[in-house]
Structure 1
Amino acid sequence: MTDAADLVLLDGEIHTLAEPDETDEALAVRDGEIVRLGSSDDVEFLAGTGTTVLDLDGRVLLPGFIDAHTHVTIAGRKLVHADLSDATGPADAVDRLQARADELDGDSADPDGDRWVIGYGYDESTWNEDRYLTREDLDRVGTDWPVVAFRADMHLASVDSTALDRIVGSIPDDCLRTDAGEPTGVIVEDGIDPVRDATDPGLAETRELVTRALTDAAARGITGVHDMVRRSHAPRVYRELDAADELPVRVRINYWSDHLDALLEAGLPSNAGSDVVRVGAIKTFTDGSFGGRTAKLSNPYADASGETGQWVVEPDELAALVADAAGAGLQVAAHAIGDEAIDAVLDAYEDVTESGTDARHRIEHVELASDEAIDRIAADDVVASVQPNFRKWAGDGGLYERRLGDRRTRTNRFRDLLDAGVTLAFGSDGMPMDPLVGLHWAVNDPAADQGLSVTEALRAYTCGGAVAGFDEDRLGTIETGKRADLVALDDSPWDRPESIRDIDVDLTVVDGDVVYKEL
């Protein structure tokens, strides 16, 4: 006698996203595993007295989204602090920071605590007044607390005079922007570290931020995250929540390079851990960002004569780090945006990768890759961990055109990478942590020639992330024997490709458990 299923989903449009993509109508789950796919009549008989049966009523069911590059605690902080991501200009950003300052001033729980007024996610490239926030802007926030506003890419921050007075002595000269010799309040790259040191959340706050961010992630159809963790209590929080069976999504922890010695001492290679929380890669920078003009280019920026960006991690230091990590069985995830940085990462990977090994080292962002670099990425079996939501900057007059001129058409070359046989793993970088926004930009490419089909884009946000996380044997497609990580959408992205970002998530299932439901 066949055991009853724990969960049965009926009357859906189920896309497996396997090769080839096939459709079914219903599925059954037992002990977190997909045990039957077929028609509703074929599957319904597995329902027993204790089975949860849900009618999808024609909704599209897909493998759960895997956000292969995000920052969970920062996503949580956007939910708590001032969210500047859709601010319309400097004045609006200041108003939002003022509202946050008023909240802090009205909080009587810790009136004498050392607080900062913090905002996240401003993007001056979308403003009519295309400039960074300055200390003069932030000095207009009526508070005695120091004020900081992080740019969307987190490679640049703006601080007020109170904050600047506290940290200016700790900021490297090449990370402090000045005008006529005076600090503007704009700091970049390592210059932001003193602000991070002063504002990093403690254990209890980290738990709150992680919980809020992952609850929000589940509501957006995300069933797994690859979290880029830097100087954070998040790894401890993940393991505690996992032990208590309180994590709504799977977590792959990509540890910053300053965690490498601890991982080596503990003997933890990539993929060690539980079914829910696992060790991922060692994460490192090479360069910065286009927004901050710190991405490392072979030719100068179009809007800054003679400037070619800067190394955050020098190539020799990068090569040594990659050798140490790879030698210990650790995957490496190296941030590289400019063409010169991408080449430096490939040099480092090629120095340590032996023929026949399956290291799956990653390049994060890969925003300005040359033809030669794409060929090398494919030949070296490197995963391209890319952010389709960044395509919003590729249109006429957008950030890429201002920074790069004609080179904007050579950014985020998803079509060329895919055609070369490279694994694309889509992530959000938390801008925002919403796969449907990223999918929209992957399909509706402003530069016209790098767009993907709906199926290709969905695979990059599902099985691409699974491959990047060595999880393709259990995640990324809907097939019998795989774990039941699923998302149901209220409309078909194939039917409305021009407005994918407006589709709603109605159901999220992780390991057979319903973690979000609006059916």
Structure 2
Amino acid sequence: MSFRFLGNAVALVTLAMAGSLSAKAEQAVADRIFRGGVIWTGASDRPDATAIAISKGKILAVGSEEEVSAYQGAITDFVDLKGRFLMPGFTDNHVHFEMGSNGLSQVQLRDAATPEEFARRIAEAAANTPEGAWVLEGAWDHELWGGELPDRAWIDEATADVPVAVTRLDGHMILANTKAMTLAGIGPDTPNPEGGVIVRDASGRATGVFKDNAIPLIMSAMTPLTDAAMEKIFKDGIAHALSLGVTQVHDMGYDWRSLETFQRLKAKDELKIRVYAFTPLAQWEKLEAYVDAHGRGDDQLRWGALKGFVDGSLGSTTAWFYEPYSDEPDTAGFPVADMDELEADVKGASSAGLHVTVHAIGYQANDKLLDIFERASEGRDPKDLRFRIEHAQHLTADAIARFAPLGITASMHPYHLIDDGRWAEKRIGAARLKGTYAIGSVMATGANVTFGSDWSVAPLDPIQGIYAAVARRTTDGKNPDGWIASEKITVAQALKAYTQNNAYAGFMDDRSGMLKLGYVADLVVLSENPFMVEPAALSDIKVLRTVVGGADLYMADSN
């Protein structure tokens, strides 16, 4: 499926014809009317409609075609949906926009199923890499070839003087070649940093695999991308997002460069999606000062939110559990942050009026973070804080019960479950799977649950996330009835998690996430009605049109 940018398709060229209208009447005339389809508004008072009117980037009316026709006029552009399904645009609650966007043009390793194919693709990428540049990203998965971690010896000869630092798909491990390690000054005596691991073989030799807080040892040797290069890859990422119906992202920036890049694009009118930009929690005082000086942005680009970490990931055996891993019994994972410092940052940032969200994967990580959030919220309205746990992946029964009364959002990523479900039992054993990706259980408590991709860790595509949450069929085809099937949810629940629940989690619930009067006109048109297809077929649904602020910014050729 190909795509093209259409810019403002609203028929403003006929505005002159409306000159005779009174100011009052002009306000009531739609720029565009979509009709002739099935419209899911997401609003509980009127979830279904057949037509929608848009004026000046906002929703003017939603209802039947007869009701909405009252808003047509000489300037109105009519769009025939031809029976297609229209809904609010998708918000992705958690992306790493720089990594995901850069990865679009880097080596692709996600489906490299053997060590030989893994090494071949890296060698090919190195051969085509300009002098001085690195081979990066990749999103490799060692579970595809049985779980053996890669080794720099696999790629050293073929990559020669080209530095390589390719990332495991979860973002918590990299494989560096010898060239990259040399540039970074990594030697036989380099110690493990706190919260990180330099993997070594039986002889003590560093294999080239670096986990969590050891990763910056390598990345610090890289020459940062120029501003122009950042803008180019971000525009590629924006186009990719629009092709998938994503109209807004919550970007978990590792530093301030992502926010700065979004700001430059916005100044050039090249930021075609909405962005809620997060910066590192440890730098909350810098953000506090920035907000004091510059405010919090607008509906196109907002800031004032922070992202922290408790632990690593299940795939890298750095998620923090109470008991050791079944397949790596010398570790139970570990915190990547000093927990006292983390709590101080949460309390300081939230007291400063900033929005705090923190990554937690393992059972112990989630329990400890819930404790911190509970202490930080004492005497305060949870709606003012809207604390979020990013991933909330492994939850005890007690943890599941705590989200709703504490007003904490479970910011979850359903595609991970159909990926991790291939091998998670090997990591932690069958008994510890209860509470893993417990989406249905958390929703049943009334807690706010939101969805996203964690791109580039998983595909950005919300359709695949909906399929994962509803069908829970692992990517290896071995769980056709669903992995931990008791946690399946409905299509309606999945759509709400990608729209209005995300709007609440991003402080936009009064103007986004639903199709209702006065809300932003961010829409997506799908090839099929997801309520009318079998769960197994949800992944085949395609995005035909993406609308942001009333303007067509993506259309499939088949639309």
For residue 214 of structure 2, what is the aligned residue in structure 1? 191
Q: Say yes or no: does 1:333 pair with 2:357.
A: yes
* RMSD of aligned residue pairs (Cα, Å): 1.9
Q: Say yes or no: does 1:177 pair with 2:199.
A: yes
- 1:60-116 CA-partner distances (Å, limit 9, x unpaired): 111110000111111111111112122222222222222222222xx5xxx4xx221
2:523 to 481, 486, 501: 486
For residue 324 of structure 1, what is the aligned residue in structure 2? 348
- Which piece of structure 1 moves more, 509-518 or 235-244? 235-244
1:437-452 to structure 2, matched below 5 A, reads 437-445=464-472, 446-452=483-489
Partners in 2 of 1:413 and 1:345 — Cα distance?
17
1:364 to 390, 394, 398: 390
Partners in 2 of 1:270 and 1:501 — Cα distance?
42
1:224-303 to structure 2, matched below 5 A, reads 224-268=248-292, 272-303=296-327
For residue 86 of structure 1, what is the aligned residue in structure 2? 111
1:218 to 239, 242, 258: 242
For residue 130 of structure 1, what is the aligned residue in structure 2? 147
Partners in 2 of 1:89 and 1:21 — Cα distance?
51
Q: Say yes or no: does 1:34 pair with 2:51.
A: no
Partners in 2 of 1:440 and 1:175 — Cα distance?
35
Task: Decide whether aligned partners of structure 1 residues 145 and 158 sit closer, same or farther in structure 2, where only a CA change above 3 A counts.
Answer: same
For residue 500 of structure 1, what is the aligned residue in structure 2? 538
What TM-score results when the alignment is normalised by the length of structure 2?
A: 0.87
State whether residues 288 and 310 of structure 1, in contact with CA within 8 Å, keep that contact through their aligned partners in structure 2. Answer: yes
Superposition deviation, residue 355 in structure 1: 3.4
Partners in 1 of 2:342 and 2:404 — Cα distance?
21
Partners in 2 of 1:247 and 1:304 — Cα distance?
45
Task: Decide whether aligned partners of structure 1 residues 369 and 437 sit closer, same or farther in structure 2, where only a CA change above 3 A counts.
Answer: same
1:111-190 to structure 2, matched below 5 A, reads 111=131, 114-125=132-143, 127-167=144-184, 168-169=186-187, 172=192, 174-180=196-202, 181-190=204-213
Partners in 1 of 2:281 and 2:538 — Cα distance?
36
Task: Decide whether aligned partners of structure 1 residues 271 and 216 sit closer, same or farther in structure 2, where only a CA change above 3 A counts.
Answer: farther
Match of 1:8, SS state, is strand
Superposition deviation, residue 26 in structure 1: 1.0
Match of 1:81, SS state, is coil
Which amino acid in structure 1 is aligned with residue 149 of structure 2?
Y
Gaps of 5+ in 1: none
Gaps of 5+ in 2: 1-24, 473-482
Partners in 1 of 2:221 and 2:339 — Cα distance?
29
- Which piece of structure 1 moves more, 232-241 or 245-254? 232-241
Partners in 2 of 1:350 and 1:415 — Cα distance?
23
1:96 to 121, 126, 129: 121
Q: Say yes or no: does 1:434 pair with 2:452.
A: no
State whether residues 404 and 445 of structure 2, in contact with CA within 8 Å, keep that contact through their aligned partners in structure 1. Answer: yes
State whether residues 364 and 384 of structure 1, in contact with CA within 8 Å, keep that contact through their aligned partners in structure 2. Answer: yes
Superposition deviation, residue 438 in structure 1: 0.8
Q: Say yes or no: does 1:23 pair with 2:48.
A: yes
State whether residues 338 and 368 of structure 1, in contact with CA within 8 Å, keep that contact through their aligned partners in structure 2. Answer: yes
Which amino acid in structure 2 is aligned with residue 434 of structure 1?
D
Q: Say yes or no: does 1:509 pair with 2:559.
A: no
Match of 2:545, SS state, is strand
2:79 to 28, 36, 54: 54
For residue 416 of structure 2, what is the aligned residue in structure 1? 390
Which amino acid in structure 1 is aligned with residue 530 of structure 2?
P
Superposition deviation, residue 271 in structure 1: 8.3
- Which piece of structure 1 moves more, 383-392 or 370-379? 370-379
Superposition deviation, residue 202 in structure 1: 2.6
State whether residues 28 and 43 of structure 1, in contact with CA within 8 Å, keep that contact through their aligned partners in structure 2. Answer: yes
Which amino acid in structure 2 is aligned with residue 477 of structure 1?
M
For residue 15 of structure 2, what is the aligned residue in structure 1? none
- Which piece of structure 1 moves more, 197-206 or 328-337? 197-206
Superposition deviation, residue 394 in structure 1: 5.1
Superposition deviation, residue 312 in structure 1: 0.3
Superposition deviation, residue 464 in structure 1: 1.4
What TM-score results when the alignment is normalised by the length of structure 1?
A: 0.94
State whether residues 147 and 162 of structure 1, in contact with CA within 8 Å, keep that contact through their aligned partners in structure 2. Answer: yes
Partners in 2 of 1:251 and 1:402 — Cα distance?
38
Task: Decide whether aligned partners of structure 1 residues 451 and 514 sit closer, same or farther in structure 2, where only a CA change above 3 A counts.
Answer: same
For residue 402 of structure 2, what is the aligned residue in structure 1? 376
For residue 355 of structure 1, what is the aligned residue in structure 2? 379
Match of 1:301, SS state, is coil
Which amino acid in structure 2 is aligned with residue 312 of structure 1?
V
Superposition deviation, residue 280 in structure 1: 4.2
Partners in 2 of 1:324 and 1:263 — Cα distance?
12
- 1:459-516 CA-partner distances (Å, limit 9, x unpaired): 0011111011011111111112211111110111122221222211001111112111
Task: Decide whether aligned partners of structure 1 residues 269 and 17 sit closer, same or farther in structure 2, where only a CA change above 3 A counts.
Answer: farther
State whether residues 524 and 545 of structure 2, in contact with CA within 8 Å, keep that contact through their aligned partners in structure 1. Answer: yes
